[in-house]
Amino acid sequence: MYTLGIDIGSATSKCILLRDGKKIAGSSVVAAGTGTDGPEQALKMVLEAAGADRKDILYVIATGYGRKKFQGADGEMSELSCHARGVHFVFPDVRTVIDIGGQDAKVLALNEKGRMMNFAMNDKCAAGTGRFLEVMAGILKMDISELEREAEKSADPASISSTCTVFAESEVISQLSAGTALPDLVAGICQSVAVRAAALARRVGVREAVCMSGGVAKNAGVRTAMEKELGVKILFSDMAQLMGALGASLYAYDAVRDRETSVQ
């Protein structure tokens, strides 16, 4: 039995196809989010990856900013609940999830059953989000995926504002003019994201184990800066970006089981 979770974010669309509520039959990530054909592409790709057909899927839950617009869903849930569920499936001991996506950052507090007990979201501001990294990578004429490698070379991260993307942009330009080394500049940018998200985490309360999810979690520079900022080890999975879709697929599985139970 297949269930599908689709996470339609501001910058990417992600799918997880789950078999019998336990095994991941396929996954997909498309760099196109809500308002594009990204969700359809992601769906097509995950079906191809799993060798499955659309009609094999018994239930679909959509999550992410585009969750209400996706026509092919049987239900929708907030990405906060879905990330909590997805992370708990992969790391059952995690009590704090720091999820940084394309346009927002969230911190979730989980109990031992993986249930979300508290959360905080960033203000309506790009600082401390994936968009911030994207803007900074643009100024430095780098691909966002290159930031991680460059940050690793830094010995002395530059100080970059975590308050505002616009302020930070002018600071980066000033630092470039002042001849700051590129690795230090990139590490400073990663630190800026970490500082902002760490402040959000402290608002919720940091309980170990701590895990990062969302697209920005793939950046080791941000993860390392976060570890320094919070003074805790940050757990990471290669599936970080897919945690929301995974959680959605698990909720879809619950829905099928609930339906079957009610029929019996």
Report the interface residues with other proteins, using CB under 8 A. 65, 77-81, 104, 115-121, 123-124, 203, 205
Residue nearer to other proteins on the CB measure, 50 or 62? 62
Task: Compute the C-alpha angle 85/61/217, nearest 5°.
Answer: 45
Residue nearer to other proteins on the CB measure, 215 or 221? 215
Residue nearer to other proteins on the CB measure, 153 or 203? 203
Residue nearer to other proteins on the CB measure, 54 or 203? 203
Question: At closest approach, how far in Å is the CB of 166 from other proteins?
Answer: 10
74 burial via Cβ count (<10 Å: 0-12, 13-18, 19+): middle
CA–CA dist 253, 212 (Å, integer): 24
Strands (E), the chain: 2-8, 13-19, 23-30, 57-63, 75-76, 96-100, 105-110, 116-121, 210-213, 234-235
> CB atoms < 10 A from the CB of 227, how many?
16
Residue nearer to other proteins on the CB measure, 117 or 173? 117
Task: Compute the C-alpha angle 176/177/182, nearest 5°.
Answer: 20
Question: At closest approach, how far in Å is the CB of 165 from other proteins?
Answer: 14
Angle between helices 165-177 and 182-204 (to 10 degrees): 160
CA–CA dist 85, 217 (Å, integer): 17
Question: At closest approach, how far in Å is the CB of 121 from other proteins?
Answer: 6
Question: At closest approach, how far in Å is the CB of 91 from other proteins?
Answer: 20
Residue nearer to other proteins on the CB measure, 54 or 115? 115
Instruction: Report yes or no: 15 and 41 within 8 Å, Cβ to Cβ.
Output: no
Question: At closest approach, how far in Å is the CB of 94 from other proteins?
Answer: 17
- Max distance between CA atoms of the chain, in angstroms, equals 72
Question: At closest approach, how far in Å is the CB of 105 from other proteins?
Answer: 11
Question: At closest approach, how far in Å is the CB of 9 from other proteins?
Answer: 12
Residue nearer to other proteins on the CB measure, 2 or 251? 251
Integer CA distances (angstroms), 164 to 125, 160, 168, 171, 174, in order: 7, 10, 6, 10, 15
